[in-house]
A and B are shown apart, each in its own frame.
Chain A
Amino acid sequence: MSSLGLVLRIAWRNLGRNRRRTLITGAGIALGAALCIGAVGILDGLDLQIVRSVTDGELGHVQVHAPDYLRSRKLRDAFDPSAAMPVLDHAGHVTGVAPRIYGWGFAAKDAQSAGVQLMGIDPQREPAVTNLLPAGSPLPVAPTPWKKAVPLTDQQRAEDAALTKAATEAAIAEIDATAPAASPPATRDETRALLAQVAPRPDAPLPALVGAGLARKLHVQAGDTFSVISQDLDGAQVDVDVRVIGLLHTSSDALDRTRVVMNWRDLQRMLGLGAQVHEIAMRLDQPSRAADVVAALHQQAALGKLDVESWTQLRPDAVAIVGANDALSETLVFLIFLVSALGVTNTMLMSIFERKREFGVLKALGMRPAMLVAMVVAETVLLASVAASAGLIAGWGLDELLLHVGLHTSQAAFSLAGTSVDPVLHAAITVKGLLMPVAALIGMAFVASLYPAFSAARVQPAVGMRDL
């Protein structure tokens, strides 16, 4: 028989000699492991929720923009997505691709007004990427009917120039006080006709989902209309009617107070963007693949100079929160084991003190000190392994419970790093979350056993035996 086998056998038998002490120590270790696994599970669950809240709410996992768009947020920093879309649709791991448009405007209803962020989305594609659109959203898939703009003919242009000249002369005459203020009705009607041709208005108010906070501010509800003033790509003032077809409840108060979500085709038309978009958001089968997908897309010629970024690049704050959470869970594991380690050291020291005679006899019989050290270490590590395994099973059970029932923390959802966190925390079960505590505990037990083991090895045979 090998000496290692012998040591293990002796160690195992020794553990059985004081069953009560072994059980109490083991139970402590097992409980520590189980609670630790549960706590790590909850923290991992929080991580997962933060990542989901960030990516599923609006961000998606990968986004494509025109160069510099994220820095400038300028209307004109848009791009034509026709070359990129087919490539993105067929890229590996990509499960959803959705184009988006952004603009700024000023919403007014009676005496109420507010600055608004206009967001144009594709109602068919967006649900495959985020849950930005509420389920069963009434946002129409088809754009609002809107006559095409027709440029003025040369003759019309000449007529228009004549109108401007007449208006200017009338204004000069008025300033010189040679004529009273007047705007001949004919000018207004002719202008209206020309305007309907070069800048036709939509046939109906544009349907939109309105942030709940914004709706409150404007005193509007579903079915009401309000006006939005903005500037199109050519700097012309655009003024459209918008009809509220539903309210939005996003994870951010700021968005709820400012956001108007419309059909992307309507917004493209309103802002004079043609076929251009500001953003393409994508969903992947796994958020963790974002960096790989970004690297692969950087090789695609069809994307040209477009910026492709992962959610971790776009939201470093969320990544930092997840990192802080991980550090917290590792600290927690370390603390729990520090306490366990002190307990284990104490137990083993007591046991060694009680067994001084035994060690004296063993030494007198010729057992070398190294063997004694190995024996005590083996006892501890064996105890820790068995107890931690029991703790693993109990912790796994606890995790399952926390996964399905959840931990109720507060009455309402709270916000962390600008993302909404559900009040019921659910654990996430990961291999790392299960095995890290167990491995750490066994490692700690090994370290904790060294001092008692060397104490045992230093027992003088004569002294050890004489004590009795």
Chain B
Amino acid sequence: MRALIFALTFVVGAATSASADDLKDLVHRADYVSRGKTTAAVVHMDIHKSSYDRSYSIVYWDDASGHSDRVLVKILGPAQWRGQGTLKTDGKLTVYNPSSDRMTVLSGSMLGESWMGSHFTNDDLVKQTDMARDYTAKELKAWDGQTAAGAKARYHLIELTPAPRAPVVWPKLQLELYVEGDHVIPTKELYFFRAKDDKPVRTMTFSDVKSLGGRVVPATLTLTVASNPDEYTKLTYDTLKFDTAIPDNKFTEQALRQ
């Protein structure tokens, strides 16, 4: 009897473990949980570092519908940063500083620098790797668990390794997500500095799952880094809107300066 239960569990387990295509789909849906063809958002960013604490209000415009991703990020406040912004068009990164009223085109060497003193880098903000396209997924484990709200969900831990010749920054990622009904919600992304590393150098945690812009999304993203475990940068969506037409003049230097 016991053996039969064991065998049944095994068969059921095998049946529910995802196939390669399903896995790719899960990765894609988790990756795009808060991104549409276009995305407009107002977020606030809280930075906690050993040397300072700071919060920004930010407006974010992203148009991924064209052949190259276009992004405009502007800080709405407080005063010391209000009006500073970053524009990505045609893979080119332009930053604007209202106090000097100057546009500067950043070179690749600045991509790894911290964005506005946060734990995010310039690269995080504007260069969005497509996890399903640029990485090959392998399921490490799957288990049944509960969501934060107490609902039953199927969890997956997926390891992502770069597809050949994919222009990626991280040589290894791990993505933890759950499937609850129709929703695929990421819970954790682990970033590894080297493919052979066991410990991630930084961790993004997704929480506060709620309905925003007509979708169910994790409204809070918390990024922590292994080198300073007490520090974090937290990003919270106040408003999210997907798939509306964003006018082209939103992604221009004029809009950045405005």
CA distance A210 to B81 in the complex (A): 29
CA distance A236 to B115 in the complex (A): 9
B232-258 residues with Cβ-Cβ distance < 8 A to A are 238-239, 241, 244, 250, 255, 258
Taking residues whose C-beta sits less than 8 angstroms from the other chain, chain A's interface range is: 35 or more
- Counting from the closest, the 6 A-B pairs by CB-CB distance are A235-B117, A164-B77, A194-B79, A167-B76, A171-B59, A175-B40
CA distance A172 to B105 in the complex (A): 28
* Pair B79/A152 contact, Cβ less than 8 Å: yes
CB of B224 within 8 Å of the partner chain = no
Given known contacts A175-B40, A175-B241, is B57 in contact with A168 (CB within 8 Å)?
yes
Given known contacts A76-B51, A106-B106, A106-B107, is B81 in contact with A168 (CB within 8 Å)?
no
* Pair A171/B42 contact, Cβ less than 8 Å: yes
CB of A394 within 8 Å of the partner chain = no
* Pair A195/B100 contact, Cβ less than 8 Å: no
> What 10 additional pairs, Cβ within 8 angstroms, besides A195-B82, A237-B97?
A76-B51, A108-B104, A172-B239, A183-B83, A191-B82, A195-B99, A201-B99, A234-B54, A235-B47, A235-B54
Chain A residue nearest in CB terms to B56: A164
- Residues of chain B touching chain A, judged by Cβ–Cβ distance below 8 Å, are 40-42, 47, 49, 51-52, 54, 57, 59, 76-84, 95, 97-100, 102, 104-107, 109-110, 113-114, 116-118, 238-239, 241, 244, 250, 255, 258
CB contact between B104 and one of A106, A167, A231 (< 8 Å): that residue: A106
CA distance A160 to B104 in the complex (A): 26
A-B contact count, CB below 8 Å? Answer: 126
CA distance A239 to B59 in the complex (A): 22
* Pair B117/A236 contact, Cβ less than 8 Å: yes
* Pair A191/B241 contact, Cβ less than 8 Å: no
Given known contacts A171-B42, A227-B102, is B76 in contact with A164 (CB within 8 Å)?
yes
CB of A422 within 8 Å of the partner chain = no
Given known contacts A76-B51, A229-B97, is B79 in contact with A113 (CB within 8 Å)?
no
Chain A residue nearest in CB terms to B59: A171
Interface of A (DSSP majority class) = mixed
* Pair B238/A172 contact, Cβ less than 8 Å: yes
CB of A302 within 8 Å of the partner chain = no
- Residues of chain A touching chain B, judged by Cβ–Cβ distance below 8 Å, are 76, 106, 108, 111, 113-115, 152, 160-161, 163-165, 167-168, 171-172, 174-177, 181, 183, 187-188, 191-192, 194-195, 198-199, 201, 227, 229, 231, 233-237, 239-241
- A229 proximity list for chain B (CB < 8 A): 95, 97, 104
* Pair A192/B41 contact, Cβ less than 8 Å: no
* Pair B258/A181 contact, Cβ less than 8 Å: yes
* Pair A168/B238 contact, Cβ less than 8 Å: yes
* Pair A235/B79 contact, Cβ less than 8 Å: no
Given known contacts A195-B99, A234-B117, A237-B116, is B76 in contact with A168 (CB within 8 Å)?
yes
* Pair A172/B107 contact, Cβ less than 8 Å: no
- B110 proximity list for chain A (CB < 8 A): 106, 115
- B47 proximity list for chain A (CB < 8 A): 235
